[in-house]
Chains A and B, each alone.
Chain A
Amino acid sequence: MVYLYLLATLLFVFGIKRLTSVRTCLQGNRLSEVGMLVAIVTVLLVGTDVNWAVVVAGIVVGSGVGLVIAKRTPTTQMPEMVAALNGFGGVASALVAMAELLLNARLKLDGVALGDLGVVPAIANPATIIVGMVTLTGSFVAYGKLSGKKLSHPFDGGARHAFHAVLALLAIGMATWLVMTGSHLQMTFAVILLALVASTLGVFLVMPIGGADMPVVVSLLNSYSGIAAAFAGFVIASPLLIVVGALVGASGLILTQIMCKAMNRSLGNVLLGGMGGEETQAADAKDYKSIKSTSPEEVAMLLDGASSCIIVPGYGLAVAQAQHVVKDLADLLQKRGCQVRYAIHPVAGRMPGHMNVLLAESDVPYDQLWEMDRINGDFKNTDVAIVVGANDVVNPAAREPTGPIAGMPILDVDQARTVVVIKRSLSPGYAGIRNPLFDLPNCLMVFLDAKEALEGIVKEVKDLK
């Protein structure tokens, strides 16, 4: 019967493998779903004294909540969603470790400490609680930041690091107490305090990280929840949890690495909070000298004479739900003989691949989606670049040697003959800085919501002939 666990593990491995290619990804997710089902059924079959009331209640409540969350979330809020779901996974692992402390028959004897059970349980148990709780609160802070809440850290610079160090030391202290004490009552207190300290640490670790770096944080926390599951596997001696948790932990780390590379920064740099809303002063209209504002009608006229056009989508496109209108415009322009491509910055939106998901929803063909490195050289031969609700990823300030986004690779839209920026206002992007692009002579601004502006342009282009 336990060989079914091996089957589940294999299904996860092949599932993840297939998730990495467009042709097989749907099938890959199916495989991993089946793997999860096999794992759950197996644990219920092999259990001898299953408390069915608790199991059924937990599964019904959890599935219900998960179902509602998944169905109600619009595509634009997917990144926040993944962050929140991830938090739930983390806390579940922490709870498994706590339950094991109460359930372990030897620990129930007075005078037996967790440390007496061996080195591995003594390390794995507090580690699961720490990683799980940090994942929980860190994910929810990331959720808050992604939904636009401004959260700032109470301490700056050295004081901040000192504060984090104190919290980390407290956590180690609590963990040591938890491992050493032979009294069940003291152990319970130690667990509660450890969970509280770790939760606090999670909040403050994510808090100073700028909003623009949130995709990296979500990916890293995703890795943490896998590691927490693997540690929980050590706690309850389950090879299944160890293997599957390690798989997720490792894959999450790789993905995090890919994202950091896309922003040309090191993970350490991101985690120490280099860039972000709190670190820089906000820019506003008076920081700009020569803004040229235009109307959808003028943009349509501009497009009338264009033979090539590159659309640069950003988070604004997602917020305005303009993915279908932008497709309409692209189709219309192509019918008129204009070459249309989309330039996808690796971290456009709030998650890597966010724009791809969104544009796929409105059936934009893959061959029109161009990655940054492939398309950057083409901007100088392009008539019109239309930036829809993107800001930081086209900010030439990234080419300066210093500054909050210095060194981040950007899309070179400023090299196009004309740049049209559709943006509701001159407010700064996620990185919270001024965008010199808007001041350039070849840049025109359309101060409208992305959907409104694109609908206007589509209508005007239709009226051209």
Chain B
Amino acid sequence: MEAYFLFIFIFAIAALLGFELITKVPPTLHTPLMSGSNAISGITIVGAIACARLGEGFLSQAIAFFAIAFAMINVVGGYLVTDRMLASFKKKGK
């Protein structure tokens, strides 16, 4: 139970940090920010990979495969799209 208390604790602190991190964002960056943080939510890839273990049943490994693939679509697609959007800002040499 104590480990779980710690988890709830860091969850709360991390959420507060998230609120504080982005109190001021210029509207220009709303879409890239949404897209960039969307890519970060693909962090679930780490959980998906941890589920792919040798010596487990077919069903669980099939689920792990799809979890990895879907999370990876989110990660790769999300970062590439964000990069594309931000690259158009960069061009102006600011």
| A118–B18 CB distance below 8 A | no
The proximity string for B residues 34-66 relative to A, scoring 1 for CB distances below 8 Å and 0 otherwise, is: 111111111111111111111111011101111
| B87–A26 CB distance below 8 A | yes
| Residue A219 lies at the interface, judged by CB distance under 8 Å to chain B | yes
Indicate which residue in A17, A44, A118, A255 contacts B34 across the interface (CB closer than 8 Å). Answer: A255
Indicate which residue in B25, B50, B65, B75 contacts A66 across the interface (CB closer than 8 Å). Answer: B75
> Interface with B: A242-250, A298-306, A398-406, which one?
A242-250
Chain A residues whose C-beta falls within 8 Å of the C-beta of B14 in the assembled complex = 230, 242-244, 246-247, 250
- Tell me the interface secondary structure of chain B in the complex: helix
Chain B residues whose C-beta falls within 8 Å of the C-beta of A78 in the assembled complex = 31, 35, 81, 85
- The residue of chain B having its C-beta at the shortest distance from the C-beta of A323 within the complex is B88
| A250–B40 CB distance below 8 A | no
- The residue of chain A having its C-beta at the shortest distance from the C-beta of B77 within the complex is A66
> Interface with B: A93-101, A175-183, A269-277, A278-286, which one?
A93-101
Indicate which residue in A99, A250, A356 contacts B16 across the interface (CB closer than 8 Å). Answer: A250
Chain B residues whose C-beta falls within 8 Å of the C-beta of A36 in the assembled complex = 39-40, 42-43, 45, 75, 79
Q: Give the total of A residues in contact with B, Cβ under 8 Å.
A: 113
| Residue A39 lies at the interface, judged by CB distance under 8 Å to chain B | yes
Given the known inter-chain contacts A103-B56, A255-B25, A361-B88, please indicate yes or no for A32 contacting B39, CB distance below 8 A.
Answer: yes
Instruction: Report the bound CA distance from A393 to B30 in whole Å.
Output: 18
| A66–B76 CB distance below 8 A | yes
Query: Which A30-51 residues sit within 8 Å CB-CB of chain B?
Result: 32-33, 35-36, 39-40, 42-44, 47, 49-51
Given the known inter-chain contacts A92-B42, A258-B25, please indicate yes or no for A62 contacting B76, CB distance below 8 A.
Answer: yes
| B70–A91 CB distance below 8 A | yes
- The residue of chain B having its C-beta at the shortest distance from the C-beta of A226 within the complex is B41
Chain B residues whose C-beta falls within 8 Å of the C-beta of A93 in the assembled complex = 44, 47
Given the known inter-chain contacts A89-B41, A89-B42, A247-B14, please indicate yes or no for A26 contacting B90, CB distance below 8 A.
Answer: yes
| Residue A237 lies at the interface, judged by CB distance under 8 Å to chain B | yes
| Residue A337 lies at the interface, judged by CB distance under 8 Å to chain B | no
Given the known inter-chain contacts A13-B17, A92-B74, A95-B67, please indicate yes or no for A238 contacting B32, CB distance below 8 A.
Answer: no
Name 30 interchain pairs, CB-CB below 8 A, sorted by A.
Answer: A13-B17, A13-B21, A17-B21, A20-B21, A26-B83, A36-B79, A39-B46, A49-B53, A57-B65, A67-B76, A78-B35, A78-B85, A82-B78, A92-B42, A96-B47, A102-B60, A103-B56, A120-B8, A218-B34, A228-B41, A230-B14, A236-B51, A238-B50, A246-B15, A248-B37, A249-B15, A251-B21, A351-B31, A365-B92, A366-B28
Having A67-B80, A92-B70, A352-B30, one finds 11 other A-B pairs with CB under 8 Å, namely A58-B67, A66-B76, A69-B73, A93-B44, A93-B47, A225-B38, A246-B14, A247-B14, A254-B23, A360-B89, A360-B92
Measured CB to CB, the residues of B under 8 A from A are 1, 3-4, 7-8, 10-12, 14-19, 21-57, 59-61, 63-92, 94
